[in-house]
Amino acid sequence: MFGLTNPELGVLMLALFIVFIMFGFPIAFTLMALGVGFGYLAMGDTVFQLVVQRTYSVMTNDVLVSIPLFVFMGYIIERANILDRLFNSLQLALHWVPGALAVATLATCAIFATATGIVGAVVTLMGLLAYPAMLRAGYDSKLSAGVVCAGGCLGILIPPSVMLILYGATAGVSVPKLYAGALLPGLLLAGLYMIYVIGRCILNPSLAPRLPPEERNVPRLQIAIALLTSFFPLTLLILAVLGAIFFGFATPTEAAAIGSLGALILAAAYRSLSFQKVQESVYLTARTSAMVCWLFVGSFIFSSIFAYLGGHEPIKQFVDWINPSPLTFLLLTQIIIFVLGWPLEWTEIIVIFVPIFLPLLQQYGIDPLFFGILIALNIQTSFLSPPVAMAPFYLKGVAPKHVTINEIFAGVMPFQMIVIIAMAFVYIFPQIALWLPKVLYG
């Protein structure tokens, strides 16, 4: 084709993909069309055999079965109004903390993130539940917006994250090890968010006025009952799911099935389970899972043709020409992923672009598990960074009309810096990510 060599065809294919998605073409089918088209130019009819093999390999990947189960668990918990109970109980328990509503929002997001990795669902729900409550209490609209958006993105990192399942399947890394590696960085990031909020509220109390006495002077027995009926059941379910994975009692797929059953039982116990809610959850789960699986099929076809054409070679030669140190290589890859987060969802980044970097990790002595945790941290910023920041747009869709998108963007900027600080912590002290997998799995 126009005298191009195979590696040049690979680079052209990658460039065309970026152009097409900028024009709004469906990503999964664009991947398949480009893969088959360029594969036919290079391989002839053999490409159709490869397409069948790649599709079948995705269908037989047991790890991917856990995705619809975890998604179903999240949608059941969302539809059963369990989040309302959780937020209200944490609000009562943390009434003495500066910025109590904001801290309770972050704690709720962190707990709910472990039940569902669906950023849009968490941001939207907390935007409907916690954001108006903070505004009514006189909280600064920018700080409140930053709390909801940043807290809502924690599900990308904190296990059981769907993103980590996809990364594990793409990079060939054990999902339980990834979950163990992501747990402490996820708690670190949530903790840094809370420290920032409390610190700002101590320095400037007008940002978050104290709750009125009638909301603060609640009998301890009432607080204990609220926690026992909302916080502890959901936390116990999450610990059971994660514990089964961490300690090898169940595979991620089996643990996800346990979590789905537990979510149904919990919803029934709260008398919030109905046929309509189950039907809605099944439909949303099928839609989300279909999107992810078609993306995976498309990316496998695309990446297989890209590898056959030798598309990695020009990239490898460019990296060798720069001759970066391991730190520079890590910084370069994270900057690229950060920029890709503007036009792309995390699914496309993981299944299309991460495989380009994976062959270079061994050359620079970088653990793929450690690399995956840094990516999961980095993608937090992708959801928060203007101009294409999904979390602020989710919040804007449900926020009061007087709250502008610029106010929301201004609110999330400090939380972006906190994510970068967390990434620096993890790089300087890699045992934050590597200690727990080493203890549990050797």
Enumerate the H helices of 399-442 as residue ranges.
405-428, 431-441
Task: Judge whether 345 and 45 are in contact, CB under 8 Å.
Answer: no
Residues lower than pLDDT 70 in the chain: 1-5, 114-121, 214-216, 312, 343-345, 387-388
Which positions ≥6 away from 49 have C-beta within 8 Å? none
In a domain, residue 354? The reply is: yes
In a domain, residue 48? The reply is: no
In a domain, residue 210? The reply is: yes
In Å, what is the CA distance from 251 to each residue of 52, 169, 190, 201, 247? Answer: 28, 14, 27, 43, 10
The residue assigned the tokens 């030798």 is 310
248 φψ region: left (φ > 0), alpha (ψ -120 to 50), beta (else)? left
Count of structural domains within the chain = 1
DSSP state, residue 207: G
Question: What is the Cα–Cα distance from 186 to 40, expressed in whole angstroms?
Answer: 44
138 φψ region: left (φ > 0), alpha (ψ -120 to 50), beta (else)? left
In a domain, residue 151? The reply is: yes
Tokens of 218: 């609640």
Within 10 angstroms of residue 277's Cβ, the number of other Cβ atoms is 17
In a domain, residue 33? The reply is: no
pLDDT at 117: 59
The residue assigned the tokens 């002595």 is 365
Long-range contacts for 290-295 (Cβ within 8 Å, ≥24 apart)? Answer: 291/28, 291/347, 292/64, 292/67, 292/162, 292/166, 292/347, 293/58, 293/64, 293/67, 294/28, 294/29, 295/27, 295/28, 295/31, 295/347, 295/348, 295/351
pLDDT at 437: 93
DSSP state, residue 250: S
3-class secondary structure per residue, 125-188? HHHHHHHHHHHHCCCCHHHHHHHHHHHHCHHHCCCCCHHHHHHHHHHCCCHHHHHHHHHHHHHH
Which positions ≥6 away from 342 have C-beta within 8 Å? 382, 385, 387, 388
Task: Judge whether 146 and 399 are in contact, CB under 8 Å.
Answer: no
Q: Name residue 146's amino acid.
A: G
Question: What is the Cα–Cα distance from 123 to 145, expressed in whole angstroms?
Answer: 10
Q: Which residues of 215-247 are buried (b: 16+ CB within 10 A; e: fewer)?
A: eeeeeeeebeebbeebbebbeebbebbbebbbe
pLDDT at 438: 92
Domain that holds residue 131: 63-441
Q: Name residue 235's amino acid.
A: T
Question: What is the Cα–Cα distance from 281 to 266, expressed in whole angstroms?
Answer: 15
Tokens of 61: 């990947």
pLDDT at 197: 94
pLDDT at 142: 93
In a domain, residue 242? The reply is: yes
DSSP string, 28-88: HHHHHHHHHHHHHHHHTTHHHHHHHHHHHHHHT-GGGGHHHHHHHHHHHHHHTTHHHHHHH
Query: How many angstroms from the chain centroid is the CA of residue 241?
Result: 18
In a domain, residue 14? The reply is: no
In a domain, residue 19? The reply is: no
Cα-Cα end-to-end distance for the chain: 50
Question: What is the Cα–Cα distance from 420 to 274, expressed in whole angstroms?
Answer: 43
Query: How many angstroms from the chain centroid is the CA of residue 117?
Result: 6
In Å, what is the CA distance from 367 to each residue of 168, 175, 346, 371, 400? Answer: 13, 14, 21, 6, 45
